[in-house]
Structure 1
């Protein structure tokens, strides 16, 4: 299969647009002016059951839904369309809506690495032993866009990309050499595997020469959205050879695959892609969020984890959407998320116990929703910090917040787990 990409305009020229119910076509026309949309021919032809639209889970995962906007904003945009206003006339209101939808992701000043008093652009260190790297080409796009992704604001935004990414492969190297406690380097972005193997190698080669770096990580949705990247693409063999090359340098290669629904693991091509990656010696761990209407039942998670284990993958993290978006249509109440997770684990192989969850993502601390406890007749959610920022002593700390079966938010996790700084030397 040859990769074909579709945006909000070119998708309308496909037969799948005509298959949408009339109401869904209207929703797509309106929301695709606000949110970035990208799909490809594999997703459209092999992952979505068009007879089940709009309830199909992969459809919900790709296509923007009405609930992503406030009822007022959606109706206002709908009226502008019905009045026949052109895109230029609508633009001011669209931009105002986008501004309101801008994600609020908390970062700490300590997370931005510095050398000689200057911040290293394109690097972020939220935990002591890992450095996240954002090479410029890797932050620009994915093979398809997830509807819940908070990184949509960087797509097609040249200014945002310049501020959060680096171009010279040697930019982060002095910092890594000066901080040998950093053992893991994570290449992420949008998706690093949209690049050619030769371009990826340019950014990895300098890192491989640093003895203290033991693990190279890729975060990618490519296995789900375009498995041909590892099978029949013209660059598939060079990419797999790159995986082997990384490990020949004495590094462990961790491929963190983003899977949200079991259907993403059902096709023969993704199974072949998985086996080809595993044959290079790389370990594939799986993570993804719990998303309302897509995978929010025990049955959904059981199927997801069973498929992962059957294909030799390691269930790693089940995230819950943190409070970084103004809307909450993707979020599941915390009590429900905990129930779904615990019931699913009871009915799966013990091998699925490797998955940690529900875990809050996109905040500074990595926080586990560990259960519910009762003290003096009052119920509380139990939150545990799995990892905390450098120069803090928060890891392993337990915090309690009042139990509310309806709440979808744990509040400000950054403030909740904020600890006094400790000298880095005392942590080793």
Structure 2
């Protein structure tokens, strides 16, 4: 299958846009002017059930929602579009709305590595043993864009890309050598596997020469969005040879695959791609966020985990949508997320007990929503810090926050786990 990509302009020329209900067309026109939109022919032809639009979960995973904007902003934009103004005239207001929606990444300065007081661009060190690497080509795009992704600000933004990435493959080497406690590097982005295998290897090769680095992680949505990357793409075989090469250098290679819905695992090409990756000796661990209206049922998760186990992969994390977006239309209440996780595990093979969740990834803490407890006549959520930034006291500790069935946000995790008290019992 030849890869064909569509943006908000070219998608309007497809038969799929023409068959959308009028209201969905209007929502798409307005929202895709604020949020970046990208989809490919595989997703359009094989993953979306067009008879079920707008309720189809994959459609909701790709296409922006009306409630991603403040009601007042959506109404104002709608009126402007109806007035017939051209895009150039509309742009100042669109940019104003877009700035409101910019994701907030708290405490980001604490995660930027420095050497001799100088920032090392394109590296992020949230935890003591792992560093995330953002080579310049990897931050630019994915095979398709997820509606909930907070990294949309990076797409088509050259200034943001340059400020948060590196182009010289040797850029991170001095820092990694100076910090032997770092054992894992994570290549992430946008999506590293939009790159050709040859380009990807240029950035991986220098890291392989560092003895203290034991694990290479590659985080990608490509198995779900474009499985042909591992089967019939021109350099698919080269990519799989690269996976073998990494392991021949004595490194553990972990492919971190993002799956959000069981349908992403159903097609034969996905199964073939998974088999080909596993034949290289690469371990595939699966993670994804729980998202309102897309996979917020126990059945969705138990089906997904069982399918992952059957295909030889390891369920890894269920994430709670990160607190980076001003809109909350993707989040579900913490109580509901916990119930979905616990119920799904009961419906799943015991081999899926490797999965951790629900887990927050905001504020630089990896925090587990571990359960609910009652003290006296008051209920609390139990939060456990799985990983925390270096030189903090949080890792391994447990905190309590007041329970309410409608609570969607755990608050500032940095502040919570910096508190030396054993628990935070008051709102």
Q: TM-score, normalised by structure 2?
A: 0.97
User: Partner residue of 1:199?
Assistant: 199
Counterpart-to-counterpart distance in 2, 1:63 and 1:211: 44
User: Partner residue of 2:424?
Assistant: none
Instruction: Show CA shifts across 1:364-389 (max 9, x none).
Output: 10000000111121111000000000
Instruction: Show CA shifts across 1:52-82 (max 9, x none).
Output: 0000000000000101011111111110011
Mapped contact 2:184–2:216 kept (Cα < 8 A)? yes
Q: Is 1:53 equivalent to 2:57 in the alignment?
A: no
User: Partner residue of 2:113?
Assistant: 113
Instruction: Show CA shifts across 1:117-139 (max 9, x none).
Output: 21100000000100100000000
Counterpart-to-counterpart distance in 1, 2:221 and 2:19: 26
Counterpart-to-counterpart distance in 2, 1:314 and 1:17: 37
User: Partner residue of 2:133?
Assistant: 133
Q: Is 1:407 equivalent to 2:407 in the alignment?
A: yes
Structure 1 unaligned blocks of 5 or more: 421-428
Aligned length: 420
1:363 counterpart SS class: helix
Counting only pairs closer than 5 Å after superposition, residues 58-69 of structure 1 correspond to structure 2 as 58-69=58-69
- The range that moved more, 13-22 or 252-261, is 13-22
CA RMSD of the aligned region, Å? 0.9
| Per-residue deviation, 1:393 | 2.8
Structure 2 unaligned blocks of 5 or more: 421-427
Mapped contact 2:393–2:417 kept (Cα < 8 A)? no
Instruction: Show CA shifts across 1:121-172 (max 9, x none).
Output: 0000000100100000000000000000000001000000111000101011
2:363 counterpart SS class: coil
2:418 counterpart SS class: coil
Counterpart-to-counterpart distance in 2, 1:108 and 1:8: 31
Counterpart-to-counterpart distance in 2, 1:74 and 1:55: 20
Mapped contact 1:322–1:409 kept (Cα < 8 A)? no
Q: Is 1:374 equivalent to 2:370 in the alignment?
A: no
| Per-residue deviation, 1:417 | 1.2
User: Partner residue of 1:21?
Assistant: 21
User: Partner residue of 1:184?
Assistant: 184
Moved beyond 2 Å, runs of 4+:
107-110
Q: TM-score, normalised by structure 1?
A: 0.97
1:417 counterpart SS class: helix
Counterpart-to-counterpart distance in 2, 1:36 and 1:129: 33
Counterpart-to-counterpart distance in 2, 1:337 and 1:199: 39
Counterpart-to-counterpart distance in 2, 1:216 and 1:362: 23
Mapped contact 1:110–1:390 kept (Cα < 8 A)? no
Counterpart-to-counterpart distance in 1, 2:107 and 2:153: 16
User: Partner residue of 1:424?
Assistant: none
Counterpart-to-counterpart distance in 2, 1:53 and 1:129: 44
Counterpart-to-counterpart distance in 1, 2:363 and 2:240: 33
User: Partner residue of 1:297?
Assistant: 297
Counterpart-to-counterpart distance in 2, 1:25 and 1:40: 18
Counterpart-to-counterpart distance in 2, 1:186 and 1:37: 26
Mapped contact 2:230–2:276 kept (Cα < 8 A)? yes
Counterpart-to-counterpart distance in 2, 1:94 and 1:307: 42
Mapped contact 1:106–1:414 kept (Cα < 8 A)? no
Counting only pairs closer than 5 Å after superposition, residues 71-220 of structure 1 correspond to structure 2 as 71-220=71-220
| Per-residue deviation, 1:108 | 4.6
Counting only pairs closer than 5 Å after superposition, residues 387-426 of structure 1 correspond to structure 2 as 387-418=387-418
Counting only pairs closer than 5 Å after superposition, residues 29-40 of structure 1 correspond to structure 2 as 29-40=29-40
Counterpart-to-counterpart distance in 2, 1:305 and 1:177: 38
Mapped contact 2:393–2:418 kept (Cα < 8 A)? no
Counterpart-to-counterpart distance in 2, 1:176 and 1:33: 40
User: Partner residue of 2:423?
Assistant: none
